[in-house]
Amino acid sequence: MSVVRIGLVSDSHGRFSCLEQMVDQAPDVCCWIHGGDYCEDAEDLGAYAAVPVYAVLGNNDYLTDLNVPERRLVKVAGLTIAVIHGSQWYGEKRLQKLEEWGHHAGADLVVFGHTHRQYLLEQEDLVIVNPGSISRPRDGRKGTYAIVTAEDGRLADIQFYHLQN
């Protein structure tokens, strides 16, 4: 059986010490997916974690000089993962648009950020997840991130984690 772990993070807002703690807590991921706000942190995250990092622009990233897309599809461990910050839409429309885009893209998983709150919607053919904010959570908790486990090319599990320090 092939088991692969994929890290999900968003909304780091330049607080790299939070990303360091996250990597130290989850050293066995094959890559990190960064859902925007501050996508520039992704470059440092990749160097620190020594794994690929796939980032998208957030609503606080438009002055960056990096060539980072607003949305992207990432294929890893047999999964197709659609990534977007999610600030393009609000309220119920956001979830509707995320679901529509995920289906249109043929994604197994849609990852978004922006709200600074953890979110998980599991449907039969699509999962939508927000890992929360690693640096500025809005739910009164410590910083959060998520780990996706893929087994033999299928999405097997998603777990949320909090920074321990």
Q: How many domains does the chain have?
A: 1
Which helix (DSSP H) or strand (DSSP E) does residue 24 occupy? Answer: helix 16-25
Lookup: tokens for 91: 């309220």
Predicted confidence band at 8 (pLDDT cuts at 50, 70, 90)? very high
Which CA distances in Å does 11 have to 2, 65, 106, 126, 129?
A: 30, 18, 25, 23, 14
Strand 109-111 with 127-131, pairing: parallel
Mean pLDDT, range 61-67, rounded to an integer: 75
pTM greater than 0.75 (yes/no):
yes
Lookup: tokens for 16: 């790299």
CATH number of the structural domain spanning residue 100 = 3.60.21.10
Q: Which domain covers residue 30, as residue numbers?
A: 3-162
Query: Could you read off the pLDDT of 91-150 as tens digits, one per residue?
Result: 889 889 999 999 999 999 999 998 889 999 999 999 999 999 999 878 777 899 999 999
Burial class (CB in 10 A: 0-12, 13-18, 19+), 128: buried
- Residue 151: predicted pLDDT: 96
